[in-house]
Structure formats: structure tokens, C-alpha cells
Amino acid sequence: MFLEGITLGVIIGKLRGGRLWSIGRIKMKMWPLIIVALLIQFLSMFIGSYSWSSHIVPYAYIVSLGLILVFLIFNFHKKSLWIIFAGIFLNMLALILHKNAMPIAMDLVKNTNYGQSISEINNNNLINYISFEKIEGFSKYLGRFIFIKRPYICPSIMSIGDILVSIGVLVFTQSQMMNNYYGKYSYSSRSKMINFRYSGNK
């Protein structure tokens, strides 16, 4: 989700004349929450191979998503982050409604590198998956059932939440590249420092 959005955002930003270094000047509130969330996900992957972690890892992943949502709330003044918030919220809701599992369309799995069965998929991922086809009700549409094929960067099965996150990251990345902080600073500095005065000949 994030990689695709960043990649396309950088490409669009460059085509619009944006600067990569502008991304490095982004100021975000409560940014340590992102570090904590990523650390939780990393540790979850590390301990995921142990049998005793089966009841911990899914909840830990939901907690990490919750921390990211809090971080986004503190930065809602950047409008594109609302899109990312909506996407992550929908994915987290899918996990909660399906007991820490994400529905996935098994008829589309053969076209990707996920695996060939639910057990194979669950062995290679941080979150658990359940078959989309076996779920009744509207909640299954919060899962991954949308197949994105080539020429997309990496053919995969996405949820509505995944797509919103990708769009949000794309919009945020390219918009930040268009913020020419250096140019604004230079212009304001010159306008304050240079003051021409013409009095004419007397």
C-alpha cells in the first residue's frame, strides 16, 4: 500500500515539477507513534513463529494500526491524511469484525504470490486470512477482493481500505513535493531586505 503510493506520488510530483528534498522538510506532530507502531509490527513478525504468540500477534497488529490512526488525527491539518485514515480504519474494522482475520478472495489468489491455500497465506503474513467466499453479509467487502493486475507495479489483491491508503499516500507525497519551502523563504527574505527608494533630482 505505502510503497505503491509513494512510488506513484514521487513520479507524479516530479512530472509536476516538484522537489524530492521538500519531503524531508515535512513537520508532523506525534511522529514517535509511527516508530512505536512499526516496532510493534516488527516484533510481531519476529515472534510470530512461536506457538505461544498466536493469540498475541493479531491483537498487537490492531494496536499498531490504532497508534497510526491517532498519529493521523493529530495531523489532520494535512487534508490528504484523511484519506489514509479512512483506509486504515476500514482495514482495522475488517480485522475486528472477523476476529482478527482479513477476508480474501481465494479465486484470485492463484494470480498472485500470496500462496495457494489459507494455511500457506497465513504462514507468510503478519495477519491471518479467511476465505472471502465463506463469509456472509456485507462485512466481507471490507476484505481483499479487488484484483489489481499489470501494468500495476505488483499485481495483488486489495481491499477498499488498501486502495484508499494508496491514494492518500500518493496525494500526500506529490503535494509535499510541490511545497517549495526554499523558494518561499528566499522570496520573503528578499522582499524584507531589499528596499529601493527613488527621490528624483531636486
Nearest-angstrom CA–CA distance, 126 and 3: 17
The answer to whether 8 and 169 are in contact (CB under 8 A) is no
Tell me the percentage of the chain whose pLDDT exceeds 70.
77
Q: What's the first-to-final CA gap in the chain, in angstroms?
A: 70
Q: How much is the pTM?
A: 0.80
Please list the helix, strand and coil fractions of the chain in percent, rounded to the nearest 5, in that order.
60, 10, 30
Distances (CA, A) of 49 to 113, 122, 129, 188: 20, 11, 16, 57
Q: Which residue has the higher pLDDT, 167 or 134?
A: 167
Give pLDDT tens digits for 25-61.
Answer: 888 999 999 999 999 989 888 886 677 777 788 789 9
Task: Work out the pLDDT band at 191, boundaries 50, 70, 90.
Answer: very low
pLDDT of residue 90: 97
pLDDT of residue 113: 65
